[in-house]
Structure 1
Amino acid sequence: MMIDEQSDSNAAIVIGAGLGGLAAAMRLGAKGYAVTVLDRLDKPGGRGSSVTQDGHRFDLGPTIITVPQVYEALWAACGRDFHKDIDLRPMDPFYEVRWQDGSTFTARQDTDAMLAEVARLSPRDVKGYKRFLKDSEACYKVGFEGMVAKPMHRLWETIKVLPLFALLRADRSILGLAKARVKDPRLRMALSFHPLFIGGDPRHVTSMYALVAYLEKEFGVHYAMGGVQAIAQAMVGVIRSQGGQVRQGAEVDEILIKDGVARGVRLTDGQEIAADLVVSNADAGHTYQRLMRNAPRKRWTNQKLKSRRWSMGLFVWYFGTKGTAKMWPDVGHHTITNAPRYEGLLKDIFIKGKLADDMSLYIHRPSKTDPSVAPVGDDTFYVLSPVPHLGFDDPVDWAKEAEIYKAKVMAEVEKTIPGFAEHISTEMVLTPEDFRDRYLSPNGSGFSIEPRILQSAWFRPHNISEEAKGLFLVGAGTHPGAGVPGVISSAEVLAKLVPDAPVVPELKVAAE
């Protein structure tokens, strides 16, 4: 049992209705807690929420579902069937990668199809790609099966996997591994870019993230009809069926700490809510810097948090187009376009904090799969560009740069979707400043603390806080890290740390 003393109260508070917070509430509800989820936004999902504008649904954050078994396990823990609540569609192909020279790489689940793609681009690299697949499976067994859903708040849990990490050369970056296996620079990019989807610089993130290639190959890439927002809404339904509450428009201003123990929260309107179990799905940096600003902290001081390397920011342009559903048949659900530079652009984003003129883009066209995202005959898109976060000495002034940068993005998208701008009927933009203000994300980072090897496992903010008893953390900023499978798995870790809810006195009497 990780809580020193059991209270007679079974009340639990979850701060934030992001996917990690909702998963935490489901897990706690299954353990008998009376859960109240408090969230400042107008709908659940956090970064996985959506905005509907002029008939177009813009899914604001994650767009794909990998490792469906983590959702199946979450629903099963609550006595439910995930697939009865969510219509999950497999993607084939997963995505297409495009380069400036006109070459492409189509990622699929079938191994022979992938080998054919490698052979088409660079025949000499087929053997190296096969080695990379073996690397990815080994990394999956150690890094995913062995660590993701296990508590890592004790240093020994990290120390005991170090021999395996050394054997797998986890000190090498994912880009370093790709370079060791294949020669073609396009393939090196295609095998190493995945950490960008969880906020990591492929030049520095551990090669353990090769496990993503195995996850895709083994379990596929999926899309949830209705978007990730549909998953969030289904999670709310489960929580309420357990007797829990989800309150939108309720912002927590402070976690109340007394004698080193979490006792509840105070909202921005002054209301105080008591509970002996508090789970924060707010960013770990915001949790410690803001929500615990009046409590003494031993490890996660403001200076300690400031010294961390944070994930990059995101510039995301959402737009709808009129009458285009049958146009651009070669542009699928997921397309990735590459700048002429790969490593140089990464250095500008993660190290220099420079907003470069060139860019690599992720183009999301969900209307290819899901007609509910747009009016009949129309399309819904979003285009995402990795950019520097706001924590550099001379941060990007997005009030001045947003429209200028959007014009540059437009010119780049034109190469893939010719003439699209003439059909735009509605649009909106999110910059790192919006991530800071909407999601209370330190430095406007898209994915909290960057997942470098010395910022992972024990080195990351723990799921069980060392700063206050009865306080727990879930979500991207804690173990196991960012990405939807990671934040869902953080709630599984939570369930292993928190005992079943105590039987309150009233229930004891009723039972007698």
Structure 2
Amino acid sequence: MSRAAPAADHVVVVGAGLAGLAAACHLIGAGRGVTVVERDDAPGGRAGRIRCGDYLFDTGPTVLTMPHLADEAFRAVGTSLREHVELLPLQPAYRARFADGSALDVHTDAQTMEAEVERFAGPREAAGYRELRHWLTRLYQVQMRRFIDTNFDSPWQLLNPDLARLAALGGFGRLAPRIGRHLRDERLRRVFSFQSLYAGVAPGRALAAYAVIAYMDTVAGVWFPRGGMHALPRAMAAAAAAAGAGFRYGSTVVRLERSGHRVTAVVTDRERIPCDAVVLTPDLPVTYRLLGRAPRRAVPLRFSPSAVVLHLGTDRTWPQLAHHTLSFGHAWNQTFDELTRTGRVMTDPSLLVTRATSTDPSLAPAGRHTHYVLAPAPNTVVGPDAAAWGDLAPRYRDHLIDTLEQRGLTGIAGAVEEEFIVTPADWAARGHAAGTPFSAAHTFAQTGPFRPRNLVRGLENAVVAGCGTTPGVGVPTVLISGKLAAARITGTPRPGHRAPVDARPAGSGAATGVPGPLPSSSTTGAAHDGP
């Protein structure tokens, strides 16, 4: 593995999102001094927090899977996730509601889910689910160690026995047909393939290897931190600070000071911070600006679809909602065409509705509820540009409210006490390329060793982390990216990667085994091949 500044004593991490915090923890654990610089007044990055009246809203990811990856960061500084965060397992992980009026609870326990599939679609589909679960598990086992949790120096690293195993599993085929080999019911196929959208590719064109995201959601289990998703970065920052990391909040990095092929200091709008190495976690445009130029690539980067997020604080809720509810419209292929090709907002939206107060009522006043409505949207390259969203946002907000009303959330328009909307224009204003919080799409040419590297060509002591670099988009992979960035400096061998039998913090329920987003910091999105 190639390394950057292995003798670095003091490392500056730019950005206190999940990637930057993971990097900071692993660096401290390896004996390095660390200063974290964050432009906002608190940690979190995309996993931020906003108070609207008496309602508390997570502004970013709402789905937490693979909590043992966060635990690795805590253990690097001598503590554990369970000592800082109470994780509550979600049962069901999701509730899927379909345009024909049917509903399916997605459980991560195999027997419970098999019984639910049989109730929903019959014994043939239940048998197909058993086969699919086995395939998803094998896919994860083959991919994690060699293709996800690894630092690539060359595409030649792909040539290993696991590559043949991945090919034998059909990982280089297309996702939708592969899911269809196990499930005939079109509704079930949606449940196990919609995740590819957050990787930036429609299921019909995505590599089957990306079914590993469905493994994380539907097999490994879904949790919710008490206090909201923002509780995780807040706890990571506290653990890092207790272990000796310095934090500079409310400080914007304006330039990197260099001498030859080395960064010698990070200069903010408040101070100059000398360093032996730097970890950059801002999204692509911010990182490129700090580096002085964009990377050289044969083909320009292609970016994932964006999202509109409608945050609603309401005086009531609706019993058909679970903590996470997938609300599918009639349209499916048309929806992906709109998001990735024609650039139209969804005319028949498929939505993720998260009611965090189902699990943690403290996030709203007594008897009130929060509803986080995520509607995938075209990015600003394919669809409306940032300026167009000024007029489009209120009209699309009304369209989403009408859609929710028609799908059974009767009276939602009159139940809203507090609200705010986030659009691609807001993501763009925070420095996210193409107005998307999901960064570079996971096309074949932007996957694994072909994704922008976490080493910076031409600089000996700069590393990047976040969803734009390896391994990619999502809370689990962003946490891994921070660990991999730290390993580029420390060379610390990573531990063998396995999910613990029980990753629960104390007090949580039975063990059972994400792009979301308000960009609130210069974190979890850096990516480049090097200037």
1:188-231, Cα deviation, whole Å (9 max, x unpaired) = 11110122344443232221122234334553210001112111
1:107-122, aligned counterparts within 5 Å? 107-122=106-121
Matched with 1:27 is 26
Q: Which residue of the partner structure matches residue 442 of structure 1? A: 433
Q: Distance in 2 between matches of 1:344 and 1:500?
A: 47
- Deviation of the 1:157 alpha carbon: 1.8
Q: CA 1:136–1:227 in structure 2 vs 1: closer, same or farther (change >3 Å)?
A: same
The alignment's TM-score, normalised by the length of structure 1, stands at: 0.90
C-alpha distance in 2 between matches for 1:155 and 1:177: 25
> Which residue number in structure 2 is paired with residue 506 of structure 1?
none
- TM superposition shift of 1:107: 0.2
TM-score of the superposed pair, with normalisation by structure 2:
0.87
Instruction: Show CA shifts across 1:229-252 (max 9, x none).
Output: 111111111121122122222111
Amino acid at match of 1:15: V
5+ residue gaps, structure 2, are: 493-531
Corresponding position of 1:276: 276
Any conservation in 2 of the 1:2–1:498 contact (CA below 8 Å)?
A: no
Aligned to 1:223: 224
Equivalent residue for 2:421?
429
Provide Cα deviations, 1:31-68, integer angstroms capped at 9, x if missing partner. Answer: 22221111222321111011011011110011122111
AA at the equivalent of 2:75:
A
Q: Equivalent residue of 1:186, what SS?
A: helix
Q: Take 1:484 and 1:193, find their aligned partners in 2: how far apart are those partners?
A: 17
- What are the Cα deviations for residues 138-189 of structure 1, in whole angstroms up to 9, with x where unaligned? 2101112433221123222223343233212222222221123222211111
Distance 1:266 1:304, change over 3 A: farther
Q: Is the 8 A contact 1:257 1:468 kept in 2?
A: no
Cα distance in 2 between the residues matched to 1:394 and 1:50: 27
Structure 1: distance between partners of 2:255 and 2:47 = 24
Pair 1:472–1:31, CA change in 2 (3 A): same
Higher relative contact order (CA 8 A, sep 6+): 2
1:258 and 1:471 map into 2 onto residues whose CA distance is 13
What is the RMSD of the two structures over their aligned residues, measured on CA atoms? 2.1
How far, CA to CA, are the matches of 2:417 and 2:303 in structure 1? Answer: 35
Q: Is the 8 A contact 2:6 2:489 kept in 1?
A: no
Following superposition, the deviation at residue 119 of structure 1 comes to: 2.2
**Partner SS, residue 130 of structure 2:** helix
- How far apart are the structure 2 equivalents of 1:380 and 1:493? 35
Query: 1:312·1:445 contact (CA, 8 Å) conserved in 2?
Result: yes
Maintained 8 Å contact 1:200/1:452: yes
Would you say the 8 A contact 1:284–1:461 is kept in 2? no
Name 1:330's counterpart in structure 2.
Answer: 320
Residue 404 of structure 2 is aligned to residue 392 of structure 1: no
Aligned to 1:483: 474
Change (3 A) 1:120 1:128: same
Aligned partner of 1:508 in structure 2 is none
Q: Is the aligned partner of 1:359 residue 2:352?
A: no
The letter of the residue matching 1:222 is W
**Residue 318 of structure 1 aligns to which amino acid in structure 2?**
H
Does the residue aligned with 2:490 lie in a helix, a strand or coil? coil
Tell me the residue number matched to 1:370: 360
- Give the deviation of 1:350 after TM superposition: 1.2
- Aligned-pair distance for 1:256? 3.2
Q: Deviations over 1:341-394 (max 9, x none)?
A: 111101110122222322111101001111221011111111010000011376
Q: Specify the code of the residue in structure 2 equivalent to 1:484.
A: V
Between 1:470-479 and 1:213-222, the stretch displaced more is: 213-222
Structure with the higher helix share, 1 or 2: 1
Deviation of 1:3 (Å) = 4.2
CA distance in 1, matches of 2:353, 2:383: 30
Contact 2:5 2:461 in 1 (8 A): no
The range that moved more, 406-415 or 121-130, is 121-130
Q: Percent identity?
A: 30
- Pick closer, same or farther for the CA change 1:422–1:371 going to 2, 3 Å: same
Q: Is the 8 A contact 1:174 1:192 kept in 2?
A: yes
Q: Distance in 2 between the 1:43 and 1:187 partners? A: 40
Paired residue total: 488
**SS, match of residue 256 in structure 2:** strand
Instruction: Quote the Cα distance in structure 1 between the aligned partners of 2:258 and 2:155.
Output: 26
Quick one: structure 1 residues 218 and 453, their matched pair in 2 at CA, closer, same or farther if it must change by over 3 Å?
Answer: same
Instruction: Provide the residue aligned with 1:56 in structure 2.
Output: 55
Residue in 2 aligned with 1:97? 96
1:179-198 alignment to 2 at 5 Å?
Answer: 179-198=180-199
Report if the CA contact (8 A) 2:24-2:486 is conserved: no
Maintained 8 Å contact 1:277/1:471 = yes
Cα distance in 2 between the residues matched to 1:171 and 1:2 = 28
Q: Which residue of 2 aligns with 1:507?
A: none
Partner residue, 2:508: none
Aligned to 1:473: 464
Shift of residue 72 of structure 1?
Answer: 1.7
Per-residue CA distance 1:273-299 (angstroms, 9 max, x = gap): 2212110111245312x2212x5x6xx
| Structure 1 counterpart of 2:81 | 82
1:46-96 deviation line (CA, Å, top 9, x unaligned): 110110110111100111221111122221121102101000000001111
Question: Residue 254 of structure 1 corresponds to which residue in structure 2?
Answer: 255
- Whole-Å separation in 2 of the counterparts to 1:260 and 1:148: 29
Q: Name the CA distance, whole Å, in 2 between partners of 1:69 and 1:389.
A: 32
